[in-house]
A and B are shown apart, each in its own frame.
Chain A
Amino acid sequence: MRFLLTIAALVCTGCGSSAPEDSDGVGDTDVQTPEPGFGTLAASFGIDSDWRDNMDEPATGPFWGSVYNADEVSAIGPDEGAEALANLYVASVDLTGDLSTAVLVTTEELPEGWVTILGFMDSDGNAIVDDEDPDSKDPVTLPGQNEFEVIRDVESEVEIFFGLLNP
């Protein structure tokens, strides 16, 4: 359904940029649709202390995640058919000491607007490349806690927060 909405939006955009047929030439300058803007996110990591206390292993490991358009994510994850805008991988996120890290990764350029970063720390080091999914007690991100705004031409600092251990 979403692709239909996208098509409709494009059609409407086209309509809006058309000059009236009875134009007298005044103001004939094409109405330009603004170029889409892009920005980046510089991400640090954080974890809920209570959940960290419940982990079976130290809170350190690689991070696997994806960036989605926030409008295509609900509390149960990405909508059916939602495609990641970008993927994120950090070889080592260490939250064994402090509950937050310094900036560890910067995304590629993302379209401006709200995005959601979903991912997990592979604290037991058993994720399978190209089929990365958390298993029991890997720290995971909750959608509502990981919505960030991408601002045009700005590198925004954000904290990817692990708010739950995967059941």
Chain B
Amino acid sequence: MGELKLAQGGGKSERERVRWLGHEILPHEQDVRAWLRRSLVTSNDVDDVIQESYCRLANLKAVEQIESPRAYFFQTARSVVLEQMRRARIVRIDAVTEIDALRIEWDEPSPERIAGGRKELERVMKIVATLPERSRRIFEMRRVLGLSQKEIARQLGVSENVVENEAARGLKAVLAGLAKADANVAPSSTGERRA
């Protein structure tokens, strides 16, 4: 922690870590959230654990040796929860038993999850499609044409600030959308085992 270097564009290793998080961790966030939701009280707690887990995963010295990022994500989230419980003075008894009972769905990802990154990207793009026109256009110009925010501002005839704000607004909507329970996934604990 605290060693994050955020200079212009970021260093190569930083960009690689961002990529790794996006491609190897993010696709499993839904499942980790669903798993946490079954044992934790509020969605706020779930968000806390997710944020804390990302912080730890991002600060790992090396990630290349991690064979199953999915399993690693589950384990990290689990240890975050256990630590929080240890710190808390009052712990719901059932929470403790639950977190143990809920051990480990990570070795059986649902068939959809195997498609992994691509599926997640589709999910992201679906949310992007619901954004207001201007926001959508900015992300499209970034992605399809590879234009920078600065170039986009020039092409659209608006200030760079406008583009940045619009991008931030769109990103917020996507982050919030990704945190929501997927309507297609049944909230029961057997939800992922449908054949």
- Do the two chains bind? no
